[in-house]
Amino acid sequence: MEIYIISMCVVAGIYAVMALGLNVMWGMAGLVNLGLVGSAAAGAYTSAILTKTFAIPIPLGIMAGAIVAAAVGAVLSLVTRRLKEHYLAIVTLGFAETIRIVASNEIWLTNGTDGISGIAGPFRADLTPFQYNLVYLGIVLLVLLGLYVCCQRISYSPLGRVLRAVRDDDMVVSVAGKNAQSFKLKAFSIGSGIIGLAGGLYAHYTSFISPDLFVPLLTLYVKLSLLVGGVGNNRGAVVGAALIILILEGSRFVVPFIPYISPAQGAAIRELFLSATLLIVLRFRVTGLIPEPHDHPVIPRPGTATAGTSIKAF
Amino acid sequence: MLEISGVTRNFGGVHALSGVDLTVAKGGIVGMIGPNGAGKTTLFNCISGVLPVSSGEIRFQGTRIDGMRPDEISGRGLVRSFQIARGFPRLTVFESLMLYGTDQPGEGLIQSLMRGKASIDREKQLIDKALGIAERLRLSHVLDNKASDLSGGQKKLLEIGRAMMRDPAMLLLDEPMAGVNPSLVREIGERLVTIASEGVTIVLIEHQMDLISRLCDHVIVMADGKKMIEGTFDFVAGNKDVQNAYMGSRK
């Protein structure tokens, strides 16, 4: 039971990392990306193949995975440069499916639908399962903390300001002398890179990946996390991810107490809990549990003692 | 300073611009008038790179700018405002001004992650500049409001302020005073005269003739996607064709 709880915390941490990545793209720059799972798969497969075939150290493998995912994200951004909103959403959804189908069919590289097993985990051989889970939780939390700090810095930087401006009106951004396209590309590759890193973390944790892990539902869970937590808020991304995993996994223990339902119906009811959460949040707190801050000062402004906190939305 | 020759722009079969030739010399405020649909805003869109030209040539300070991206044109000191105030509803007024700042290295990923000294120093300079501009345009008290909360007139002021952040050599203002109350109109007018006296060339689209006569040294009249006539306000206003096309013929 302890192992189960720790392992759920690890999963929540990995979701939180992905939600942070999504926040850079969607929360800050307003770019709808339904292809998150494609970036995660790119990161996971890259790291798994590199560490297995070339026996490179795990951290390097995960970094390589993040870089590949960022590069793939950059290409995706270039391909979709004329698209916005729904059109962008559909193409990115197709991108993720493409990655999954490539992973299923390029057997020489990915071992096809059988997946890759026996992916190395840090100190796995020397530790009991309990210790291993605990160590991995520590690693994930450290990575999450580091990325959270990075994302906060991006948020409160001139770069973050341009990204939020792109979200509102990219035409005016270009009249302001910034190449809006290159900022979209930055947002896409930073976000995809972070999500690729999360994919790598997942692969080395479970030691097994296969194409059917990377289904669109995963993208929706991450998106839901950010939506519930607060689009545009890094803290919201982390809290939202934790909450979604809590509901998703916690409902497992509630279902047996619901009378007159079959196990299959029970499994369906867990999705119902998620939808209900989404509806409740959207009805009563449309900006999420922790809404985006009113403004993002890079440095305090002279003349305002409490710059940036003078008017708080909530 | 700005030379436009033979510029056309078609939307499907409609010729929004059918061969515009005009030159704007350095200095002063140039008025651009003409009936609705004359092509004034389309011309601004073509000059600022928002719309590609169908044919013709646009030169700014001797360099050909048609075909350049809007950000490249803006980077050369040719900055425009929008007729229907456009901007960043979810940024504060202050952030909107700061966004227009030039040469901010903090817009790079590494600088933003490291909070590099170069970007912080530049930010300080830009803050001083933004506060100065806000003061001049009477926006100081709304700096922390979201841009979407501003009144129509304040949005117009913000458009001018944003453009000023770029130290433009030339400003293209598309009806900066439409929908603004009369006392503010007078104020904006005075600001424009000050800005122009500091060496910024302003091209102003405007429908209020008294403003044009008061502010502009030189007036260009557009009609049917072409330049009709240009000259001093009195010269232009005395022209029969202009009176028929625009000001309504007097009987």
pLDDT tens-digit series, residues B142-173: 999 999 998 888 888 899 999 999 999 999 99
pLDDT tens track for A124-173:
888 999 999 999 999 999 999 999 999 999 999 999 999 999 999 999 99
Q: How far apart are the first and last CA of chain B?
A: 40
∠ at Cα A84 (A82, A89), nearest 5°?
A: 115
* Set of chain B residues whose Cβ sits within 8 Å of the Cβ of A162: 99, 107
Taking only the tens of pLDDT, chain A with its 314 residues reads 889 999 999 999 999 999 999 999 999 999 999 999 999 999 999 999 999 999 999 999 999 999 999 999 999 999 998 888 899 999 999 999 999 999 999 999 999 899 999 998 888 888 999 999 999 999 999 999 999 999 999 999 999 999 999 999 999 999 999 999 999 999 999 999 999 999 999 999 999 999 999 999 999 999 999 999 999 999 999 999 999 999 998 888 888 888 888 888 888 888 888 889 999 998 999 899 999 999 999 998 886 644 444 433 33
Strand duo B218-223 + B29-33: pairing: parallel
* Close Cβ partners of A45 (under 8 Å, ≥ 6 residues apart): A65, A103, A110, A116, A199, A203, A209
- Residues in chain B with CB shorter than 8 Å from the CB of A172 are 82, 86-88
The number of CA neighbours under 13 Å toward the Cβ of A54 is 11
d(CA A198, CA A200): 5
Which of A158, A165, A179 has the CB atom closest to B91's CB atom? A165
Place of tokens 């997946």: A115
pTM of the model: 0.90
Q: How many CA atoms lie within 13 A of A94 on its CB side?
A: 9
Interface size between A and B, measured as CB pairs under 8 A:
123
**What is the b/e burial string over B222-242, where b = at least 16 CB atoms within 10 angstroms of the residue's CB?**
bbebbbbebeebeebbebeeb
H/E element, A99? helix A85-105
Contacts of A178 in chain B (CB under 8 A): 71, 99, 107
- Within 8 A by CB and 6+ apart from B249, the residues are B243
> Which residue from B80, B112, B120 is facing A154, i.e. has the nearest CB?
B112
Task: Specify the amino acid at residue B68.
Answer: M
Distance of CA A281 to the CA centre of its chain: 20
CA distance linking residue A222 with residue A25, whole number of Å: 13
pLDDT of residue B235: 85
- Give how far the C-alpha of residue A24 lies from the chain's centroid of Cα atoms, to the nearest Å: 10
The distance from CA B43 to its chain's CA centroid, rounded to whole angstroms, is 12
Q: Does B95 reach chain A within 8 Å, measured CB to CB?
A: yes
The CATH number given to A2-312 is 1.10.3470
Give the one of B50, B74, B89 whose C-beta lies nearest to A176's C-beta. B74
Instruction: Give the contacts of A279 (CB within 8 A, at least 6 positions apart).
Output: none
Q: How far is CA B29 from CA A158, B163, B212, in A?
A: 33, 16, 9
Q: Check A298 against B120: CB less than 8 A apart.
A: yes
Q: Is the ipTM of this complex over 0.85?
A: yes
- In angstroms, rounded to a whole number, what is the distance separating the alpha carbons of residues B176 and B185? 9
**Closest chain A residue to the Cα of B172, Cα to Cα:** A175
By DSSP bridging, strand B2-11 and strand B55-60 are: antiparallel
